[in-house]
A and B are shown apart, each in its own frame.
Chain A
Amino acid sequence: MKTKKKSEFAKLPSGDKVILVIGYTILGLFLLAIILPMVYIILASFIDPITLQNSGLTFDFSKWTLTAYKRVLSNNQIWIGFWNALLYSVLFTIISVVVTLLAAYPMSRADFKGKGFFNTIYVITMFFGGGLIPTYLLISNLGMLDTIWAILLPGAFSVWNMIIARTYYMGIPRDLQEAAEIDGATEMIYFFKILLPVCTPIIATIAMWQFVGMWNSYFDAMIYLNSPSKQPLQLVLRAILIRSQPEPGMVSDMQSTAERAQLAELLKYATIIISSLPLMIMYPFFQKYFDNGIMAGAVKG
Chain B
Amino acid sequence: MRKALANASADKGGGSKMHNTLVYLRQHWQLYVLFMLPAFALTVIFRYIPMGGILIAFTEYNPFRGILGSEWIGFENFERFLSSPDFMRYLVNTLKLSIFGLLWGFPAPILLAFLLNRILSKSAKQKIQLVLYMPNFISVIVLCGIVRIILSPTGMINSLLGTNTNFMTMPSAFRTIYIASGIWQGAGWASIIYTAALSNASKELKEAAVIDGANIIQQIKAVEWPAIKDTVLIQFIMSVGNIMSVGFEKAYALQTDLNLNTSEIISTYVYKKGLLDGDYGFSTAVGLFNTVINVILLVSMNALVKKMNEGKGI
A contact set with B: CB distance below 8 Å: 1, 5, 8, 13, 15-16, 19-20, 23-24, 26-27, 30-31, 33-38, 40-41, 44, 52-53, 56, 98-100, 102-103, 105-106, 109, 111-114, 118, 121-122, 125, 127-138, 153-157, 162, 181, 186-188, 191, 212, 215-219, 223, 234, 237-238, 240-242, 268-269, 271-272, 275-276, 279-280, 283-284, 287, 290-291, 294-295, 297-298, 301
Partner of A35, one of B43, B131, B231, B298: B131
Which B113-143 residues have a C-beta within 8 angstroms of A?
114-116, 118-121, 128, 130-135, 137-142
Asked if B110 is at the interface of the complex by the 8 Å CB criterion, the answer is: no
Which segment of B8-16, B89-97, B170-178, B284-292 sits at the interface?
B284-292
- Give bound CA distance, A156 to B294, whole Å: 23
Instruction: Give the chain B neighbours of A37 by CB distance below 8 A.
Output: 146, 150, 156
Given the known inter-chain contacts A34-B131, A294-B192, please indicate yes or no for A133 contacting B148, CB distance below 8 A. no
Residue of A nearest to B24 (CB): A113
**Smallest CB–CB gap between A46 and chain B, Å?**
14
Across-interface contacts of A98 in B (CB, < 8 A): 38
Instruction: Assess whether B39 is interfacial by the CB under 8 Å rule.
Output: yes
B193-218 interface with A by 8 A CB criterion: 193, 196-197, 215-217
Residue on A nearest B53 in the bound complex, by CB: A134
**In the bound complex, do residue B149 and residue A269 qualify as a contact, i.e. CB atoms below 8 Å apart?**
yes
The reply to whether B54 and A130 form a contact with Cβ atoms under 8 Å apart is: yes
A216 pairs with B112, CB closer than 8 A: no
Given the complex, which residues of B lie within 8 Å of A287, measured CB to CB?
Answer: 130, 133
Q: From known contacts A127-B294, A212-B137, A272-B146, infer whether A134 and B50 are also in contact, taking CB-CB under 8 Å.
A: yes
Chain A residues with CB below 8 A from B217, complex form: 15, 19
Among A24, A118, A237, point to the contact of B40 (Cβ < 8 A): A118
Given contacts A20-B118, A37-B156, A242-B253, is CB(A131)–CB(B137) below 8 Å? no
Cβ A162 vs Cβ B1 within 8 A: no
> Smallest CB–CB gap between B151 and chain A, Å?
10
Nearest-Cβ distance from residue B302 to partner chain A, whole angstroms = 10
- Indicate if the CB atoms of B145 and A241 lie closer than 8 Å: yes
Which of A30, A130, A181, A295 has the most chain B CB atoms inside 10 A of its CB?
A: A130
7 cross-chain CB contacts under 8 A: A16-B216, A31-B132, A131-B284, A157-B38, A188-B34, A242-B141, A294-B193
A118 CB to nearest chain B CB (Å): 7
**B249 located at the interface, meaning its Cβ lies under 8 Å from any Cβ of chain A in the complex:** yes
Give the interface of B toward A (CB within 8 A). 1-3, 5, 21, 24-25, 28, 30-32, 34-36, 38-40, 42-43, 45-54, 56, 63, 111-112, 114-116, 118-121, 128, 130-135, 137-142, 144-146, 148-150, 154, 156, 159, 184, 187-188, 192-193, 196-197, 215-217, 231, 234-235, 238, 248-249, 253, 270-271, 274-275, 280, 283-284, 287-288, 290-291, 294-295, 298, 314
Whether B159 and A56, one on each chain, are in contact in the complex, defined by CB atoms closer than 8 angstroms, is: yes
Expressed in whole angstroms, the minimum distance between the Cβ of B296 and any Cβ of chain A is: 10
Kindly list chain B residues whose C-beta atoms are within 8 Å of the C-beta of A106. Answer: 31-32, 35-36
Knowing A56-B159, A216-B140, the reply to whether A34 touches B134 (Cβ < 8 A) is yes
Selected contact of B36 from candidates A5, A33, A102, A130, CB within 8 Å? A102
A residues near B24, Cβ cutoff 8 Å: 113
Chain A residues with Cβ under 8 A from B235's Cβ?
301
Indicate whether A103 sits within 8 Å of B36 (C-beta atoms), given known contacts A138-B49, A156-B42, A218-B140: yes
Please tell me if the beta carbons of B288 and A15 are within 8 angstroms of each other in the complex.
no
Q: Complex formed: what's the CA distance from A134 to B52 in Å?
A: 8
A127, B52: Cβ atoms under 8 Å?
Answer: no
Q: Chain B residues with Cβ under 8 A from A283's Cβ?
A: 133-134, 137
Q: Which residues of B contact A130 (CB under 8 A)?
A: 47, 49-54
Question: Could you tell me if A242 and B145 are in contact, using CB atoms closer than 8 angstroms?
Answer: yes
User: Smallest CB-CB separation from B298: which chain A residue?
Assistant: A127
The 7 closest A-B pairs by CB, nearest first: A134-B53, A130-B50, A241-B145, A131-B287, A103-B39, A216-B139, A134-B50
Contact B291 A40 (CB under 8 A): no
Name A135's closest neighbour in chain B (CB-CB).
B50
Assess whether B42 is in contact with A153, with CB atoms less than 8 Å apart. yes
Residues of the A chain whose Cβ atoms lie less than 8 Å from the Cβ of B120: 5, 8
Q: Which residues of A contact B5 (CB under 8 A)?
A: 111
- Contact yes or no, B249 A219, CB < 8 A: yes
